[in-house]
Amino acid sequence: MTMTCPFHSVLNEALDLDGAGVAATAEPVAKKEFPFMPIGQAYDMGHAPDGTPLFDPRILDSAEFARNPYPYYRILRDHYPVYHDKLHNTYWITRYDDITRCYFDEEGFNTIPKGSSSGVLGNTQLELSGVEHRRRRNLYGRHLVGQALEKRIYAIERLADSMIESWLSDSPPPGVTRNADGTLTIELGLAFANEFPIRVVCQVLGIPDEVKDKFFYWYYSMMTGLGGSETAPNGIQARQDLEDYVSELVELRRREPGYLYDHAGKVVGKDIITQLCESVLDGDHLSTEEITSNIALIVGGGGETTRGAIMNMWYLLLLHPEQFAAVSAEETLWDTAFHETLRCASSIGGQPRHNTYDVELHGVTIPAGSLCQMVDFSANHDDRIFANPESFDIFRADLYSGKIIRSGHHEGGRHSHMAFGVGPHLCPGAWISHQEAVVGSKLLRRRLKKVSIHTDKMPKDLDGVSLPPIGLGAIRELWLDIELG
């Protein structure tokens, strides 16, 4: 008598090996090693009798996928635009137009799954919907766009200049080496991109200087604690410490407003915490909990997202010298470079959703309450929208690179990238990230007389010689040889 292990039976079903035409194994494994392929080429996972490429969901957990994701997203878009991944209990939605419709469907896909962020970041608007979501969302229209955003430029410029000047001090910061010929070798993350956005956020929030070291610790603990990892307890404690401190600061700012200043020391506006304290919605002032919730999102939106955008943008531009020369000659092209970077190599992968009721899409029924992943990475590389999507090209004619708008842009053959999403839950840090990455990069370029990638110090690809692809997310190191002007 042959006995079948129940676990193996369930795992075979989850992998869909037998149903997809691939022979099920007696002892299936949930994790599989996949060989590394040339960039842009997918590993052959087999074919159905009609020639359709098969898709093994274990590829999603592999190092091959993290390094070389886009040919696998192409398989999903072309053959499984709504892919029911039983291994991860997820529905992957990968086409640009489908993701756009889902983001705008407030009834069908109204919010991210409960607990996705609240474990560390607290009760943020990401997990809210309806009236409560609109109440908090409207705050960003007041304080993080338009004229309110312009008032931050002075703080951004002042902090960028200060950080660059520190490279020439007798005690340069980590990641900066002064060479005998007067040039510098820097690691852009350590020397600038890791801390710059957090310093700016501290400044415009109105965090006093004596607390900034604690603020840095709270921020990094919260960011590394996301995702329910072993570092989550530290993240939760850091959020509680931040909330305790902000609660006291809020009470102080209700009595004593804080201000932002220009280069001449003239007041240009109030800091964000003061503005939040003075904000009135539906006839009421914001509660302390609502203010700390907004601060958590402002910090997240102005931190890792901006760091990744700066690192990837400089890496891609320096790998394409003619495009770097173009932005160097015409500063307005930095906005275009920012948008093309987020389309080509965003550090933001997508947004999860739960569907409110049964939804049918491309012949696949998604039962109510399912976990759906809107794969922004894939949408940004959808060749139904963007020509030659794997190519980094700031001159492409099909990408909209104007002001970030919640409704997105889909006119005249030009489309917004999907890195921040669109619709009611467009990333609240979008405008912050855009401003900090572009203004900071402009100031960097003005100060750099010469700049090139220091290839010897850079991580290498599989051959031990070539520079690595960005893959999913953002590069962690970018070593540069520079000469300050």
pLDDT tens across 21-80, in order? 344 455 667 788 999 999 999 999 999 999 999 999 999 999 999 999 999 999 999 999
Of 318 and 297, the structure prediction assigns the larger pLDDT to 318
Domain ranges, residue 292 = 118-484
Torsion over CA: 203, 205, 211, 215 (sign):
negative
Q: Is pLDDT above 80 for 225?
A: no
C-beta of residue 200 within 8 angstroms of C-beta of residue 156: yes
Q: At what angle do helices 430-447 and 153-166 cross, to 10 degrees?
A: 40
pLDDT, one tens digit per residue, over 439-469 is 999 999 999 999 999 999 999 999 999 999 9
What is residue 400's predicted lDDT score, i.e. its pLDDT? 96
Q: Is pLDDT above 70 for 129?
A: no
Asked if the structure places residue 250 within a domain, the reply is: yes
Asked if the structure places residue 74 within a domain, the reply is: no
Asked if the structure places residue 24 within a domain, the reply is: no
Q: Grade residue 10 by pLDDT with cuts at 50, 70 and 90.
A: low
Mean pLDDT to the nearest integer, 269-297 = 79
Asked if the structure places residue 200 within a domain, the reply is: yes
Nearest alpha carbon to residue 436 among 144, 65, 59: 144
Query: Rounded to 5 degrees, what are φ and ψ at 267?
Result: -65, 130
Taking the CB of residue 228, how many other CB atoms lie within 10 A of it? 12
What is residue 116's predicted lDDT score, i.e. its pLDDT? 52
What residue type is assigned to position 429 of the chain?
A: G
- Largest Cα–Cα distance in the chain? 87
Q: Could you tell me how many helices (H) and strands (E) the chain has, helices first?
A: 19, 16
Asked if the structure places residue 86 within a domain, the reply is: no
**DSSP 3-state of 354:** strand
Say what the alpha-carbon torsion angle 451, 453, 455, 456 is, to the nearest 10 degrees: 50
C-beta of residue 190 within 8 angstroms of C-beta of residue 163: no
What is residue 147's predicted lDDT score, i.e. its pLDDT? 65
How far apart are the C-alpha atoms of 391 and 397, rounded to whole Å? 13
Asked if the structure places residue 352 within a domain, the reply is: yes
Say what percent of the chain tops pLDDT 90.
52
C-beta of residue 196 within 8 angstroms of C-beta of residue 188: no
Asked if the structure places residue 411 within a domain, the reply is: yes
Mean pLDDT to the nearest integer, 238-262 = 86
How far apart are the C-alpha atoms of 82 and 76, rounded to whole Å? 8
In order of 23, 102, 166, 258, the CA distances from 200 in angstroms are 56, 34, 16, 15
Asked if the structure places residue 238 within a domain, the reply is: yes
Strand 371-375 with 350-354, pairing? antiparallel
What is residue 5's predicted lDDT score, i.e. its pLDDT? 63
Of 297 and 480, the structure prediction assigns the larger pLDDT to 480
What is residue 111's predicted lDDT score, i.e. its pLDDT? 64
Ranges 109-113, 163-167, 407-411: which has the least confidence: 109-113
Of 120 and 162, the structure prediction assigns the larger pLDDT to 162
What is the CATH number for 438? 1.10.630.10
Nearest alpha carbon to residue 346 among 307, 384, 374: 307
**DSSP 3-state of 37:** coil
Mean pLDDT to the nearest integer, 223-236 = 73
Q: At what angle do helices 321-329 and 304-319 cross, to 10 degrees?
A: 110
Q: Which two tokens stand for residue 209?
A: 């200087």
What is residue 18's predicted lDDT score, i.e. its pLDDT? 43
Q: Is pLDDT above 60 for 95?
A: yes
Q: Is pLDDT above 50 for 206?
A: yes
C-beta of residue 84 within 8 angstroms of C-beta of residue 362: no
**DSSP 3-state of 481:** strand
Q: Is pLDDT above 60 for 117?
A: no
What is residue 384's predicted lDDT score, i.e. its pLDDT? 97
Strand partners, 361: 364
Nearest alpha carbon to residue 350 among 473, 432, 469: 473
Running DSSP on this structure, what letter comes out for residue 399? B
C-beta of residue 346 within 8 angstroms of C-beta of residue 338: no
Q: Is pLDDT above 90 for 154?
A: no
Whole-model pTM: value is 0.89
Q: What total of structural domains would you count in the chain?
A: 1
Mean pLDDT to the nearest integer, 157-164 = 91
C-beta of residue 292 within 8 angstroms of C-beta of residue 246: yes
What residue type is assigned to position 171 of the chain?
A: S
Q: Grade residue 1 by pLDDT with cuts at 50, 70 and 90.
A: very low
CA 139 to chain centre: 21
